[in-house]
Structures are given as structure tokens and as C-alpha cells.
Structure 1
Amino acid sequence: MPVFLLVAAGLLFIASVVMMAYARYCFVTYSRKLSDCLDGMIAGRKDIEFEEEEDSLIGRVQVRMRQLYEIMQRRTEVSQRNQKNLEKTISDISHQLKTPIASIRTYQNILLRPNIDEKDRIEFLHNAEKQVDKLEFLIQAMIKMSRLETGIVNVSPMKESVYQLIEAVVCDAALKAEAKNIGISVDCNPTLTAYFDKRWTTEALFNILDNAVKYTGNGGNVKISASATDFFVRIQVRDDGRGIEAAHITEIFKRFYREPSAAESEGVGIGLYLAREIITKEKGFIEVRSKPGAGSLFSLNLPIEP
């Protein structure tokens, strides 16, 4: 009996040693894998192997680690993208401000001349005033753009009257249209509604109507119509202006982009960019059809339901 107990005790001891060794091995393996994963996450590596299919403690932990890692990666990518956008915005602003500031300095130097003619002085003062107006417009447009891009201002769509939206925009554009003898006609059911942020959508639609008036010749016509589809209300702005080259249609919504043929017209290339940003944030979209010499058709699609 004592011999049996000794043998049993010996086997139990050996089993305990083996189990302890195995436990130590598992712990070391677990620690190594966990450490490797953490090192990879810290280094930002994209080739980290997560043993999610393994039904073990390390497998379950690595499932959570993978989820955490993906969240960290997405935030890093967003941060990097925002940094690039900020750098580009600063570069664009610097470039856009140079021209009016240089012009104002030139007019200032001329006006400081002691023997300048009164007629010339008045002309240069008017020119300087135009550049100041351009500078003010540019700064205001950039403020709106940056507020939208950085999320400082979020659009808040509500059920609104499409007719009242169009009416307000036409009223804002009336003076410029009258100066060029351009007729603006409206075809919209007064009961038509859609979901949009009234303030920001007024800005978007005005930018498109303003462009239509700007690039339509004296005595031309602009027509605004609105109709409901299955999921959207489509507001169309049609003009009989000079139109847009097919090669430039995909470019016109880029920030600060100006079509070569529009270089002599006023503007800085922000209006259409802002319009698209606003409508996109409202879960809508803008379509464009145009042909050189035959005018353009801009379609704003606003959601009927939230």
C-alpha cells in the first residue's frame, strides 16, 4: 500500500509538473502573441495576424484587439485626410488672396502720386473698391466652406416648402438678372415639399442660379422648375447661356476650379463646390447636362423623406 501511494504521489507530482510547464508554455505563447499584436498596432502595421478563428483566450482577446485596431486605423486615416485638406485649404487661400491684395497695393501706390489727375484718381479708387469687394466675397465664401468642411456647422434638414425656397432665391438674383435684361421664369407647385436645411439650401440654389445669370448673355432666359420623383424633389435650373465643355463638367465642382472660358468673368470658383457639399450633406445630389452654345441644365435632387 505505501508503495502504491508513493507511485500515485509520484505520478501526481509529474502530472502537476507537466501541467505547470504546459500552463507556462501557454502563458508565454499568449504573452508573445499579445505583445506582437500590440507592437504591430503601435507601429501602425497593416499586416498584423489576428487569430480570430481560434477558440481560445488569445483568439477572443484578439477579436477585441482587431476591432480596436480598426477603429484606431480609421481615426488615423481621417486625421491624415483632414491634415491634407487643411494644408490644401491654406495653400488655396494663400493663392486666392494674392491677386486682390496685389491689385489693391498697386492702386494704392498710384493714388499716392502727388500729380495724379482727378479723373484717374476716381477711376483707381473705384477699381480698388472692386478689389476690396472681391476680397470680402472671397473671405466670406472661404468661411462658409471651412465651416462646412470642418463640421462646425451641420445641415439640419426639415420638411420645407420648395416653392418658398425658389421664391427666395429668385428674389436674391433679381437685381443682377434685371441688369442684363434676363428673364427668370418659375414652374413649381406651391404645395411641393422636401427635406432640406432652408438656410444652406438657399445658398446652394442661389449659387447655381447666380452662375446661370452670370454666364447667360444679355436678354437671355433662365427657367427654374421643380417636380417630385419617387424619392426626390428635383429642382432644375435651365439657362440658354454659353454652356460648358464636356471635358470640364466633372471639374466644375472642384474647389477654386474655373473653366478656362470663364476666366474673364467675376468669381473665384467656390460657388458650385459649396452647392455640392451642401446638397450631399442633405443626402441629395446634383446632376449637370450642358452643351457649348446651347446652355446648361443643373438638377438639384432633394430627399422627399428624412
Structure 2
Amino acid sequence: ASLSLLPDIEYVAEAIHSLDMAKLPSDDVQAILQQFPTDREMASVLARDTPDALWDAPEGFILALAAIPQCHARLRAMCLRREFGERVRRVEKGSVSIREACRSVCSSQALRALCGATLTVGNFLNSKTLTRQSAAFSLHILPTLSKTIDADGSHSLLHHILSLCKAEAPHVFRLPLELSSLADALPFTLSSLSDDLSALVSDLRDASVLCFRQEAKVPKKASRLLHQFIEVSEDRLNTAASELATAHDSFETLLLYLGEHELELPFSSSSQACHSLIQSLHKVALDVQEEIATNFKPNSGPSKSIARGGQG
């Protein structure tokens, strides 16, 4: 929204002073914050202000804002009250999605079967070049199975592994179903959720300071409503923090289950490792789903179409 489209400046100033969210829509609050004058701009106008001065709209707007105690903090508090629910829900949703993704991987019998078959086939293919068989492999190799093509160029290595599993481990075809929850976790990382939560804590702290700062001169009714909002929001943040901590614990459990020690992964943080692992396994599930649809009959095993993931 453009400042030129805002209501009368006195009306706006009164709404900001009283923290009246009914008078000032969220878009208007955002527009004012985005174009809020710098300290230098505000000082320049105030230095030139006299009782007889005639100001254009921009300078008049700056003077009106300067007359409101803790104006910027007031605007941020108004934004927080409107946006808090959506912002904290993102943290909660992301935490639950990552937790469920980790649990799905740990409980997937199909993934275990695919890994076992992949290890068997890999040892067979490398039997002439390796002095001993491998006991394990990195899960980040799995997405390459669909890109590795046989000598006559007809099928991928994944196709041959699934063909082997069709008779001996048919439950491998349940992989798309068992890992269907991974798509929900793709838009999130543990670090971004931690950053979002920290920003909410900081914004709520600033709102609390405004509520109790005498020089802010917040009207009693507005102060009471803001205080109630802060109390409820603090409880909600504690719940969100617990959800995020559980997501971190779930990933640590996943690493132990997979035998993938965090320091051995080619990433600088557990957040990157978690996101990359979920991406890799989601890609494998999509590859298996495509193989089932293209080269295996519907009765080869139960399957389910899974989402490709999106942005949160």
C-alpha cells in the first residue's frame, strides 16, 4: 500500500497511538513500517519545524509519527498481533512435519528392504574389484539408482533391484506409501524454524517492553489488551519450542537408527544434513513410484501416489 492511499494522517496517528487494529488494516501498518522515516530524516524535519511552517504531505506525515511515543515499536506490536498466529503455526507445522518424516523413515520396512537389496546388488557388481564386501553405504547414494542404466540401455539399476525384490521382498513396493509424509517436511529446515522461533521471541519481548514502558504512554485499554496477548502468546511459544525440540530429537534418533553420524555427513550443520537426507529419500520414493507406474503391474504391490513437495 502507498502512503498516499492512507486515511487522514490524524486518524492514522490516533490509531497508532491507541494500538487500534480495527482502524488500521494490516496492509497500512506494513506500508508505514516499510517507509518509516530514518532517525536522520526525522531529525531534519523536526529541526526545521516552526509554528508557522507549512509542510507538504511527506513532511507532515513525519511530524505526526514523531509526535507518537515509541511509534515504531507500536507499529511492530500491531504487526505482531496480526501475524503471530500465522508465524507460530509455521514453526509448529514445520516441526511436526520433520518429526513425522523422521519417524516414517525409521519405521519403513520398505526402505529397509530396498537398502538390503541395494547392498546385495552393489556387492555383486563390485565383487571383481573389491577385496571384501561392503557392510553399508550412504543413503545419499539411493537417488542415483534411477540414473544408473544397464549395458543395453533399457533399464535403470533401480528397476533391476525392484525386480529382484518383487519375488523376495514385495513389500518394497510400499515405499511411496511409507515415505509419503516426507513431502510435507521439504519446505522446512531445522535452522529456519529455529530462526523463526527466535524472531518471534524477540518481537514478543519488544512488545512486552512497550507494554510496561511508562514513556510509551500506551492507553490503559490498549495496554491491557496487549498484555493479555503477550501472556497467551508466551504459552504458545513455549509449546512451539517444545515441538521444535522434539523435531531435533527425532532427527538425532534417525541418525542413530541409520548409523549416519552427523560429523561424517558432508554438511556444515545438522539442519542441512536433515534437509538433505529427507530430500534424498523423498527422491527415491518418487523414483520407485515412477518405476511402479511405468514397468510394474498394479498388483506388484500396494503403492500410493506421493506429493513432490512444495514451499511453506
Normalised to the residue count of structure 1, the TM-score between the two structures is: 0.27
Larger helix share, 1 or 2: 2
Rg comparison, structure with higher value: 1
Bigger RCO (CA 8 Å, 6+ sep): 2
Normalised to the residue count of structure 2, the TM-score between the two structures is: 0.26
